[in-house]
């Protein structure tokens, strides 16, 4: 099975512009999470979506938004880009095993290759 895919691989934007990043989860995975990884740091949680609903949000400004589609793919949008938004944006998908709905802390997240965004 294919892993998590993300597009585009690289992006160069200028300050003030808007950007949309895309993610396709592993087949059968209904949860998608987005992370920002600044150079030299660990990934920071931005959003989590499950069954097309936002289930969690990290400490990021409202310039960041996301959505999940009926096929469980997802988009991350960032408006009014700042130089500090330059980072690797990682998408992860997970599969909820066992009983219950929603997501669980035990669900392993599988990451895509990321989109490297450079803001000039």
Partner 1 sequence: AQKVTQAQTEISVVEKEDVTLDCVYETRDTTYYLFWYKQPPSGELVFLIRRNSFDEQNEISGRYSWNFQKSTSSFNFTITASQVVDSAVYFCALSEAGDSGTYKYIFGTGTRLKVLA
List of residues contacting partner 1 (CB under 8 A): 33, 35, 40-45, 48, 50, 55-56, 58, 88, 90, 92, 101-114, 116
Shortest Cβ 30–partner 1 spacing (Å): 13
Nearer to partner 1, 15 or 55 (CB): 55
Shortest Cβ 57–partner 1 spacing (Å): 9
Shortest Cβ 40–partner 1 spacing (Å): 8
3-class DSSP assignment, residue 59: coil
Beta-strand relationship, 10-13 and 64-68: unpaired
Of residues 102, 112, 108, the one with CA closest to residue 74: 112
Nearer to partner 1, 18 or 104 (CB): 104
- Cα separation, 103 vs 74, in Å, equals 16
Contact between 18 and 80 under an 8 Å Cβ cutoff? The reply is yes
Nearer to partner 1, 15 or 103 (CB): 103
How many residues in total does the chain contain? 120
């Amino acid at each position: 099975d294919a892993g998590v895919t993300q597009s585009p691989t690289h992006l160069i934007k200028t300050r003030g512009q808007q950007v949309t990043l895309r993610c396709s989860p592993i087949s059968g995975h209904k949860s998608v999470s987005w992370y920002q990884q600044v150079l030299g740091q660990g990934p920071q949680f931005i959003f989590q979506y499950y069954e097309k609903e936002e289930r969690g949000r990290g400490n990021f400004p409202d310039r960041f938004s996301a959505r999940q589609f009926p096929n469980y793919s997802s988009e991350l949008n960032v408006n009014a880009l700042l130089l500090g938004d330059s980072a690797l944006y990682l998408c992860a998908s997970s599969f909820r095993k066992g009983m219950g709905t929603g997501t669980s802390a035990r669900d392993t997240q599988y990451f895509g290759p990321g989109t490297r965004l450079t803001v000039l």
